[in-house]
Amino acid sequence: MTQTIATELTETITKLVLEELSKVGLAPSGEPLKYVPVGVSARHVHVNRAHMDILFGPGSELTKFKDISQPGQFAANEQVTLIGPKGTIEKVRILGPLRKDTQAEVSPSDARKLGVNPPVKQSGVHDGTPGITLVGPKGTVVIERGCIVAERHIHMTPAEASAFGVQNGQKVQVKIEGPRGGIMNEVMIRVRDDFALDMHIDTDDGNAFGLKTGDKVEIITE
């Protein structure tokens, strides 16, 4: 593919993305993208195959409660109890599908209740993170690391990143309107072909800025 053809293809894809998003009010047709839908994520866990067998029984499988924003991912009916040094949180939902590593994502408020001090990390990055105990109906799992406060982030496709004028790994500010609005810093851009446009924040951030799932926020790139 020549450089000219590649450029024309990128421009065509970007135009199509802009047109589709304008239909749902995310950007006026023909203008650069600014607005992103919000997804407020409550505490949850991801589990691997071995730990699923311990928690719910050998050969057990996750069953879908509902789809979530990212393609192929879902909230499961299965739930566990999280136990930390100082407290317990029950009915913590598992997100599917199963993953390579077990991980618990909690808010700072949850962490204080549990008595753990997890760092802000990108999902799947577990170096320097504390462990926690997961209790299911069939057994208990103690992970040595993998409890995190999830980094604020925005999922988007390469075409959407081009339209927004951002790139994978870039950190941006986000502007929130409303009575509790303001500027949210340190929001990571994540770009992949199979991502759906969505900003993920935890319940503490949602409460602080008066945000709920489905609200729209503005990416600031200047």
Longest dimension (CA), the chain: 61
Report residue 214 as tokens. Answer: 């489905």
Whole-angstrom Cα distance, residue 129 to residue 137?
26
Q: How high is the pLDDT of residue 26?
A: 53
Q: How far is CA 35 from CA 28, 45, 194, in A?
A: 10, 29, 19
What's the pLDDT band for 25 if we cut at 50, 70, 90? Answer: very low
The CATH code that applies to domain 3-39+152-220 is 2.40.40
Residue 16 predicted with pLDDT over 90: no
Q: How far is CA 55 from CA 101, 129, 130, 148, in A?
A: 14, 22, 20, 20
Report residue 198 as tokens. Answer: 């969505």
- Per-domain boundaries in the chain: 3-39+152-220, 42-150
Helices (H) and strands (E) counted in the chain, each on its own, are 5, 15
Count the neighbouring beta carbons within 10 Å of the beta carbon of residue 28. Answer: 13
Whole-angstrom Cα distance, residue 199 to residue 40?
8
Q: How high is the pLDDT of residue 34?
A: 82
> What global pTM score does this model have?
0.83
Whole-angstrom Cα distance, residue 27 to residue 20?
9
Q: How high is the pLDDT of residue 118?
A: 98
What's the pLDDT band for 24 if we cut at 50, 70, 90? Answer: very low
Encode pLDDT of 201-217 as tens digits.
999 999 999 999 999 99
Residue 177 predicted with pLDDT over 50: yes
Encode pLDDT of 52-83 as tens digits.
999 999 999 999 999 999 999 999 999 999 99
Residue 10 predicted with pLDDT over 60: no
Q: How far is CA 146 from CA 88, 93, 94, 106, 167, in A?
A: 17, 16, 14, 11, 27
Residue 195 predicted with pLDDT over 90: yes
Q: What percent of the chain has pLDDT over 70?
A: 85
What would the mean pLDDT of 28-34 be, rounded to a whole number? 60
What would the mean pLDDT of 37-47 be, rounded to a whole number? 97
